[in-house]
Amino acid sequence: MRKFFTLLVLALIALTPAMAVEPDELLDDPAMEERAREISKQLRCVVCQSQSIDDSNAPLAKDMRLLVRERLLKGDSDDQVIAFLVERYGDYILLKPPVQSNTIFLWAAPIIIFLLAGVMAVLYLLRMRRLDDEMAD
């Protein structure tokens, strides 16, 4: 039993995401640091593309984290910082694609598929009931 708990704890430790942010990057102001972390989580590391720059240990991600903090210190709003990077790297830098003309299908697809499936399910059920009625007759 004890062994089981040890294993469980070890497994949970292994599951906690590794922090890539290094102590020397941290801002003195905790509120601003929190904003920097939130922004970093939304930005894609262009080297290891399924990670955010907050998660990535790539040197380029570190440079971007420093840039984010530098812009915040200069008084940029969160949106301005993100726009600054989008200007240079394109929408690709955003982990969450923005809703715009070339991504509308991406965003609308789940709803369209859900509605289509719903219509088909209703049609199917109606037909089943009709068959049942015919059998009962």
* Residue 21 or 85 with smaller CB distance to other proteins: 85
Distance CA 16, CA 114 (A): 34
Neighbours of 70 (CB within 10 A): 13
Site string for other proteins, 53-92 (x = CB under 8 A): ------xx--xx--x------------------xxxxxxx
Here the tokens at position 127 are 């037909």
State yes or no: residue 95 binds other proteins (CB under 8 A).
Answer: no
59-73 and 30-42 helices cross at what angle (nearest 10)?
130
**Residue located via tokens 């906690």:** 16
* Contacting other proteins within 12-41 (CB under 8 A): none
**Contacting positions for other proteins (CB under 8 A):** 46-47, 49, 59-60, 63-64, 67, 86-92, 120
